[in-house]
Amino acid sequence: MIDLLDGGYLRHALEQDVRTGLTAVPKWLPPKWFYDEVGSELFVRITRLAEYYPSRRELEILRRHAAGIARLALAETLVELGSGSAEKTVLLLDALATAGTLRAYVPVDVDRSVLEGAATRLAPRYPGVRIEPVRTDFERRLTLPSGPERRMVAFLGGTIGNFPPAAREVFLKDLRALLRPGDTLLLGTDLVKDPRRLLAAYDDPLGVTAEFNRNVLRVINRELGAAFEPEAFEHIVRYDEDHEWIEMRLRATRAMEVEIRALGMVVRFEPGEEMRTEISAKFRPEGVAAELARAGFSVLRWYTDPAGDYGLTLAAP
């Protein structure tokens, strides 16, 4: 595994994010820190919840269209950003293998445990295909394999919605600059819909999403010697109609002073104070096309499910 987060980089990035986010008004934390081994596992459990439709919809679209996508992309290397457990990736890998072009799979994630798991699970299924996991924070350190092979970059699950619009624009432009003629981008986006369905997808009655949300505090406790009491924070979900995004927050149920040893700081919370831990933007098909065009991509094809819940775009630089 190529680990671009060693040498203290990860720790440094976390320190910086926590210092910035927890001294801001209102407080916030970036969602990528949900994903340690426990967080990745909680996310897999989220994808199995009845209320959490995006993964199921994306799977539906891939079942129907993976072969067509593979024939258009003819990719030799599949690079998957935020690959996670890579459960749906087999549909793309199978399609590219059937199309006869697949040579390598490069899962990219911040969490080492999912990369190891995916590599172990997929290697026997694709003999002759190189599996080369890269552990990195693709938001700040986006790199692609530099060989001559034709690449498809898959960014699935709607994870691009975790970036606020300005960061999305930078990210897409940076990605565009790394791609060559013949390469493609396969981008998953969750679509605008009845807010009640959106809220239900992020606030399940079993409380799995609540535990996922609180996991960021456990990560900070472990990595930075902090003293958060996760159970003293309540899981809050809001839909912001103006920005068309879901917000997850953690609300302090009482006044607290939390020491973060590695940063030499104490963070104070007012009773009821809310800290934003994630935005998950919801898109309109024309908005996706416009954002891609602004970053220099042209759309080859747009795919959606019959209910129009979720969209996949195949785009070319």
Q: Which residue's CB is nearer to ligand AVJ, number 46 or number 99? A: 46
User: By CB neighbour count within 10 A (0-12 exposed, 13-18 middle, 19+ buried), where does 160 fall?
Assistant: buried
- Per DSSP, the three-state class of 217 is helix
Q: Which residue's CB is nearer to ligand AVJ, number 130 or number 193? A: 193
Q: Shortest gap between Cβ of 19 and ligand AVJ (angstroms)?
A: 23
Would you say 183 is a known binding-site residue? no
Q: Which residue's CB is nearer to ligand AVJ, number 212 or number 303? A: 212
**DSSP per position, 78-139:** EEEET-TT-TTHHHHHHHHHHHT---EEEEEES-HHHHHHHHHHHGGGSTT-EE--EE--TT
Structure tokens of 197? 């369905």
Q: Which residue's CB is nearer to ligand AVJ, number 283 or number 297? A: 283
Q: Shortest gap between Cβ of 7 and ligand AVJ (angstroms)?
A: 27
Angle at which helix 208-224 crosses helix 9-23, to 10 degrees, equals: 110
Would you say 279 is a known binding-site residue? yes
Would you say 17 is a known binding-site residue? no
DSSP E strands, 114-221: 130-131, 134-135, 151-155, 184-190
**Interface residues with ligand AVJ (CB under 6 A)?**
46, 54, 157-159, 161-162, 202, 209, 212, 278, 280
Would you say 137 is a known binding-site residue? yes
Angle at which helix 89-99 crosses helix 112-122, to 10 degrees, equals: 40
Q: Shortest gap between Cβ of 193 and ligand AVJ (angstroms)?
A: 13
Would you say 40 is a known binding-site residue? no
Would you say 309 is a known binding-site residue? no
Q: Measured at CB, which residue is nearest to ligand AVJ? A: 280
Would you say 278 is a known binding-site residue? yes
Q: Shortest gap between Cβ of 159 and ligand AVJ (angstroms)?
A: 4
Count helices and strands in the chain by DSSP H and E runs: 9, 14
Confirm if 220 and 226 have CB atoms less than 8 A apart.
yes
Q: Shortest gap between Cβ of 107 and ligand AVJ (angstroms)?
A: 15
Q: Which residues are annotated as a binding site?
A: 52, 82, 88, 109, 137-138, 162, 202, 278-280
Q: Which residues are annotated as a binding site for L-histidine?
A: 52, 162, 202, 278-280
Q: Which residues are annotated as a binding site for S-adenosyl-L-methionine?
A: 82, 88, 109, 137-138
